[in-house]
Amino acid sequence: MKKVNNILFGLIFFSTLSFSEECEDTAQPDVKIEDGDIEISKNINLTFKEAISNEDELELKNVKVTSCKDSSVWALTAENAQIDGNNLTIQNTKLRVFDVPIFWLGEVSLNEDDSFNIPNLGVTDSNLDISYKFKTKSENSQFVLEPIYTNSSFGLSMNYGYDDGRNNFNFKSLAIDDENSSWVYDIDSVINLSDFVSFTLDYSDLSGNSLIQNYGYRYLDINRRSLDLKQSVGLAVTKNNRSFSIFSDNFLNIGALRPVSHSKDFITYDRFFTYSGWEIELNSEFAKFKNNTSQDLAMPYQIFDEVERYSRDINLYKKFEFNSFSYSSKFLVSTREYKVISSDDDLESNNFATQQVFSFQSDKSLKLGFIWSSFSDESNLPIIDSYPLNPSPESNISLNPWVGKDRATNSRKIFLFKSWKGKNLDFSVSTNLYEKYNFAQESMIFKKFYDKKPIFFSLNTKNKHLNFFAMGNYSTEKSDFMGLMAGARYTDDKTSLSLQKTNLIPSSFPLMPLDNYVLKFKRDFDSFKVFSRAQYSRDEKTMNENILGLEWEYDCLRLRLSMERARFFPFVDPDYAEVSYYDLIYLTNPKVKNNLSFEFELIGLTNILTPIDNIINNGLFN
């Protein structure tokens, strides 16, 4: 709208110069222009038959707004419009496509941060989707109301956001008048009550699984393949070198389960300070856990219905700098106390671990060090909110190889670590000259990633077009990759192609490695684009997902036709006797779902299509 301001200022300035001397005192200082145009933004242009300035306002007659350059595929037309400051208001607006009026928009307001809005039309899951967004804005907030008609049902979506730079509050809600009268809402906010007290609310709930199955991905930005909705509320106090927080975390399962599936109510207290150059961190936490998993499901590991855990960690760290090398020292003391409510058992674990590292070379990229920890059998302790890190050179030399607090370091090793950072390559590798672990009694699959003489590696090339990437570990004992994420990608001005193999323990699914191939492809032609995504499971020897899409663009009209054949979507009321645990945690439904999506976008006007890169990375329906 800056050019609008410039034109408006020019008209007013011109009026004062051109008429002040020649006109009498009673003459009006207005300027009248016929057949003009104004560039609203880089892609949108406004033409008018007549314009009259009146002080700081510009009144337009017979207005036409479009982004079409070669033809009039679409245009907004109106008899009157006003420009006042940064705001353009068009009255009695009609949308014309190929010069045929198809929708009346009434009064439309636009500033340089806004875009026009018309009804969204599409075909998904073989059903017609129609919706229209009504927006209102203020300096710090925006409210969007979207009536919906989809799958022969009426619905309503609401979205309210507030952000003043210090506090933020976001509320989203979607209701569909289906057989379940489905309703879902999501609140995400951080409110700073004072300079050192903050309140956090991240809370979602729903009724009716169909919202996630069929609608949420489109109207509420909810991941269609979500395992859960988060329910978290808490208060945090941070002042000087102390932090105190009290939180309640829960996850609402949608037709399936989370592998780590406990609600958690907890209190934490942290202190940070420095003494004689030593950085010291004290962390205490008391947490109560409650199992959310269905009793009908046979799990491959022991589940504790209700557990209380008290944990305390003391971390000490200091780094010493010398001319040719540096030396760092870390110590970790941990205590864990569990109370299993059902059996009234008291379990405890006390651990000590240290890491001593010497760093050489000018960039300190060559490291030689050792990790020593006390060995205590933890196989009888619950695993409640923890999972092992994905294998990498950094995880191999860490005193905290787990996310969460249910397992200690439990390793003794002498290690080497080397990293390279160059113009065309980033590479790091780590191996152990000596290693011993204490995971022999663990019954879970993750233990195979330890004690197999692994070499950990991470690689990323930085070429202009063709690049390779890899991360994981290779077992010299097994002569096999025990964890791997590797692939190649090619990009140029018109083409994007990548092939990736994954055989890792994903952090969200700690109990079974994922072993598959993923292909992503996009190609730009002169007037259309082709894109695809495919995922193949090695274990099941089947295509879990296959997406193929075509996008055609003519002047300011964009059409997209996409098809998805997928087994990735949540189960609704699964039969635990018939469906395996692994199918549940991966959402690989035994039924194949075929989705068809036809959408169009009036470029510069509606801006509704999901970017193709998002589709090939995350899926057609997220």
Q: What is the mean pLDDT of residues 338-367?
A: 93
The whole-chain average pLDDT of the chain stands at: 81
Which residue has tokens 């504790």? Answer: 304
The residue that leads in pLDDT, 484 or 312, is: 312
Cβ-based neighbours of 137, under 8 Å, separated by 6 or more: 114, 143
Phi, psi at residue 405, to the nearest 5°?
-125, 15
For the segment 438-458, what is each residue's pLDDT rounded down to a tens digit? 877 765 555 655 667 889 999
Quote the pLDDT of residue 615.
85
Say whether pLDDT at 135 is over 80: no
For the segment 276-305, what is each residue's pLDDT rounded down to a tens digit? 999 999 999 999 999 877 777 766 667 788
Contact 386, 406 (CB under 8 A): yes
Determine how β-strand 480-491 pairs with β-strand 542-554: unpaired
**Measured between alpha carbons, how far is 480 from 453 in angstroms, rounded to an integer?**
11
Contact 198, 176 (CB under 8 A): no
Handedness of CA 107, 110, 114, 117 (dihedral sign): positive
Say whether pLDDT at 91 is over 70: yes
Say whether pLDDT at 24 is over 70: no
Determine how β-strand 120-124 pairs with β-strand 100-110: unpaired
Quote the pLDDT of residue 326.
96
**Measured between alpha carbons, how far is 175 from 184 in angstroms, rounded to an integer?**
6
Contact 65, 75 (CB under 8 A): yes
Cα 300 from chain centroid?
30
Quote the pLDDT of residue 67.
76
**DSSP secondary-structure letter at 9?**
H
- Say which amino acid occupies 505: I
For 442-478, the DSSP string reads --SGGGGGSSS-EEEEEEEE--SSEEEEEEEEEETTT
Least confident of 125-134, 164-173, 220-229, 231-240: 220-229
Residue 156's pLDDT band, with cuts at 50, 70 and 90, is confident
Quote the pLDDT of residue 117.
59
- Report the range out of 76-90, 215-229, 572-586 with the highest average pLDDT: 76-90
**Measured between alpha carbons, how far is 246 from 251 in angstroms, rounded to an integer?**
17
Residues β-bridged to residue 368: 358, 416
**What percent of the chain clears pLDDT 90, i.e. is strictly above it?**
36
Least confident of 214-223, 456-465, 483-492, 561-570: 214-223
Least confident of 23-32, 97-106, 514-523: 23-32
Question: In which order are the strands placed within the sheet that holds 32-39?
Answer: 32-39, 45-54, 57-66, 74-84, 87-97, 100-110
Quote the pLDDT of residue 153.
81
For the segment 474-484, what is each residue's pLDDT rounded down to a tens digit? 988 888 887 88
Contact 386, 365 (CB under 8 A): no
- Say which amino acid occupies 480: D
The residue that leads in pLDDT, 500 or 578, is: 500
Least confident of 116-130, 200-214, 364-378, 383-397: 116-130
pTM for the full model? 0.76
Q: Which of 584, 527, 525, 588 lies closest to 555, judged by CA?
A: 527
Say whether pLDDT at 21 is over 50: no
For residue 603, give Cα distances in angstroms to 1, 38, 74, 252, 543. 18, 18, 9, 39, 35
Q: What is the mean pLDDT of residues 70-74?
A: 73
Quote the pLDDT of residue 305.
87
For the segment 403-431, what is each residue's pLDDT rounded down to a tens digit? 889 889 989 999 999 999 999 999 999 99
- Report the range out of 173-187, 194-208, 245-259 with the highest average pLDDT: 194-208
Quote the pLDDT of residue 35.
74
Quote the pLDDT of residue 22.
45
| Terminal C-alpha separation, the chain | 35
Structural tokens at position 257: 């389960």
For the segment 500-547, what is each residue's pLDDT rounded down to a tens digit? 998 876 544 444 557 889 999 999 998 899 999 999 988 778 888 899
Least confident of 32-41, 77-86, 187-196, 594-603: 32-41
Domain architecture of the chain: domains with CATH: 2-110 (2.60.450), 117-194+204-222 (no CATH), 239-468 (no CATH), 513-622 (no CATH)
For the segment 220-262, what is each residue's pLDDT rounded down to a tens digit? 555 656 656 789 999 999 999 999 999 999 987 665 556 567 8
Q: Which of 281, 381, 396 lies closest to 331, judged by CA?
A: 281
